[in-house]
């Protein structure tokens, strides 16, 4: 059989094809205790003013400010203390001229009081068994009052649907009585590695075999993206059993990630499996390195991601193509890796017609971000993933890059990007033209 000729498409076009087909995973209600890092499927609206009543920001005395007119070191004024209230208590009596209520931080300002003076600024006395305070200064109306609604007002839109729930948002949900909250569902991602050479993690090495690292790596990646993972026992490169496994996994998952067996080799069965399934292949060759063989197909509303068997290629394919499907389906407004501009900290000499994604270590600085390649730059490398927190994006058709160059970097750390692909740092370049020549 002649080897299949594949037509590479530019990376951004591949990502666009995916984004166009992304649909939401639906919504569910989760308890406030389980909602952190999920994505809001409803607007977060203030259901009351915060604070809900005028309150004291200090431990002190609630007074009627006009009583302090003319008060001075030599001429203190004296007020009768009616009662004491702590936070959570409400004064029983009104503050009238000549009186005060001892009040603790967080307690509601008593009716009639229009200012608070701190404990440290008064002298406490007793006369005829009655508690009094002396004040030696003028206190202005509204001094030391935390006003109702000064933080938020009822009806205010605080966070829009699509926002990631941070600890701060959890605080607001609690403040406004959302004991449960509507969030976008997590998709279920089934992960299966194929390879006759693969061993389980606990197995001893034998000649010709290696341990399966891709499945565990991909599981960790998609978990970090917020998906649920179903990890399956790896399979040998055998058409029938692989076909059977994949159809079974399709029933149990929203997305199926396979690793390996997706290129043009004798035992690369994924292309034939997509064909037999009747899956619609969006692309099977991308003008990029690593990960050029990444294949994405859709089947009955489900996704099939054929990631490369080479670990670094598998990793990159997952970040570039799986991420926007998982996060986009959860209505995350920034479903792609975060784009940074950085200074290249070391020469990168390899020329390549394809857009390169170099595993790299990115340091975010106050004045400058610096990025350096993270190790052996081969798609088969595992060790270069160790120090990597980002991918340097080097547009195709270039003759190597010098230390000091400004480059675009995509990182899986950070808040994500809406659409990083238009960045001039990635210059629409000659990648595809050069790739065409190579075909
Ligand atoms: N004649 C051609 N050969 C190859 C091409 C090509 O275009 N023409 N593409 C090369 C590129 S680029 C890549 S990437 C690989 C992709 O290969 P597959 O996705 O088909 O993966 P496999 O053949 O199954 O394995 C490749 C490599 O990765 C190792 N591997 C596989 N699975 C795992 C795993 N779960 N954990 C760790 N390592 C794994 C496997 O042992 C192989 O060494 O094809 C090139 N060839
Ligand atoms: O997909 Mo391969 O790893 O392009 O390098
Ligand atoms: Mg292969």
Which tokens go with 224?
Answer: 């970090």
| 133-143 per-position pLDDT tens digit | 999 999 999 99
Give the distance (Å) from ligand 3 centre to CA of residue 266. 8
Measured CA to CA, the distance from residue 49 to residue 46 in angstroms comes to: 7
* Secondary-structure percent of the chain, ordered helix, strand, coil, rounded to 5: 25, 30, 45
Q: Is the CB of 295 under 6 A from ligand 2?
A: no
Residue 437 has pLDDT above 60, yes or no: no
Give the distance (Å) from ligand 2 centre to CA of residue 294. 8
Give the distance (Å) from ligand 3 centre to CA of residue 8. 17
Q: Which of 37-51, 165-179, 386-400 has the lowest mean pLDDT?
A: 386-400
Q: Is the CB of 324 under 6 A from ligand 1?
A: no
Residue 435's pLDDT is what? 40
Percent share of the chain, pLDDT over 70? 97
ipTM for the whole complex: 0.98
Residue 5's pLDDT is what? 86
Mean pLDDT along residues 197-201: 98
Tell me which residues have their CB within 5 A of the ion that is ligand 3: 263, 265, 268
Percent share of the chain, pLDDT over 90? 90
> Does residue 382 contact residue 311 with C-beta atoms inside 8 Å?
yes
Domains of the chain: 11-26+189-329 (3.40.980.10), 31-49+154-184 (3.90.105.10), 60-135 (2.170.190.11), 338-438 (2.40.340.10)
Mean pLDDT along residues 71-91: 98
Residue 1's pLDDT is what? 65
Please report which ligand is nearest the Cα atom of 438. 1
Residue 279 has pLDDT above 50, yes or no: yes
Q: Is the CB of 259 under 6 A from ligand 1?
A: yes
Nearest CA to ligand 2 atom 3: 290
Give the SS3 label for residue 80. Answer: strand
Q: Is the CB of 284 under 6 A from ligand 1?
A: no
> Does residue 386 contact residue 374 with C-beta atoms inside 8 Å?
yes
Mean pLDDT along residues 24-31: 97
Say how many C-beta atoms besides its own lie within 10 A of residue 338's C-beta.
17
Give the distance (Å) from ligand 1 centre to CA of residue 36. 38
Residue 397's pLDDT is what? 80
Measured CA to CA, the distance from residue 361 to residue 247 in angstroms comes to: 39
Q: Is the CB of 263 under 6 A from ligand 1?
A: yes
Ligand 2: nearest atom to the Cα of 380:
3
> What contacts 260, CB < 8 A, 6 or more positions away?
193, 194, 195, 198, 214, 237, 268, 307, 308, 309
């Amino acid at each position: 059989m002649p080897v299949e000729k594949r037509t590479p498409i530019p990376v951004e076009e591949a990502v666009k094809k995916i984004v166009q087909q992304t649909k939401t995973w639906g919504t569910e209600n989760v308890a406030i205790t389980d909602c952190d890092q999920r994505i809001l499927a409803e607007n977060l609206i203030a259901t009351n003013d915060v604070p809900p009543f005028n309150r004291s920001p200090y431990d002190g005395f609630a007074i009627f400010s006009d009583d302090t007119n003319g008060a001075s070191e030599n001429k203190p004024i004296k007020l009768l203390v009616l009662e004491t209230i702590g936070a959570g208590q409400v004064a029983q009596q009104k503050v009238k001229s000549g009186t005060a209520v001892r009040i603790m931080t967080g307690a509601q300002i008593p009716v009639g009081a229009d200012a608070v003076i701190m404990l440290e600024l008064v002298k406490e006395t007793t006369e005829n068994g009655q508690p009094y305070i002396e004040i030696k200064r003028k206190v202005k109306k509204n001094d030391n009052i935390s006003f109702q609604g000064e933080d938020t007002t009822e009806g205010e839109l605080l966070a829009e649907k699509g926002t990631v729930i941070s600890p701060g948002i959890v605080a607001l949900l609690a403040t406004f009585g959302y004991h449960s909250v509507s969030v976008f569902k997590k998709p279920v991602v089934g992960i299966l590695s194929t390879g006759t050479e693969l061993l389980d993690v606990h197995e001893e090495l034998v000649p010709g075999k290696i341990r399966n690292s891709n499945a565990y790596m991909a599981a960790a990646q998609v978990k970090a993206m917020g998906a649920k993972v179903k990890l399956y026992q790896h399979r040998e490169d055998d058409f029938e059993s692989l076909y059977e496994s994949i159809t079974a996994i399709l029933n149990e998952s929203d997305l199926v990630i396979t690793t390996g067996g997706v290129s043009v080799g004798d035992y690369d069965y994924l292309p034939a499996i997509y064909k037999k399934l009747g899956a619609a292949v969006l692309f099977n060759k991308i003008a990029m390195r690593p990960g050029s063989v990444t294949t994405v197909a859709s089947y009955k509303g489900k996704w099939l991601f054929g990631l490369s068997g080479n670990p670094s290629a598998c990793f990159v394919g997952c970040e570039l193509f799986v991420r926007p499907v998982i996060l986009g389906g959860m209505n995350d407004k920034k479903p792609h890796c975060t784009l940074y501009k950085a200074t290249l900290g070391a020469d990168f000499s390899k020329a390549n017609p394809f857009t390169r994604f170099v595993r790299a270590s990115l340091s975010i600085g106050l004045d400058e971000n610096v990025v350096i390649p993270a190790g052996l730059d081969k798609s088969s490398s595992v060790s270069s993933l160790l120090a990597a927190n980002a991918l340097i994006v080097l547009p195709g058709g270039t003759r190597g890059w010098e230390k000091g160059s400004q480059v675009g970097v995509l990182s899986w750390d950070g808040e994500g990007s809406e659409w990083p692909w238009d960045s001039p740092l990635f210059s629409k370049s000659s990648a595809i033209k050069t790739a065409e020549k190579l075909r």
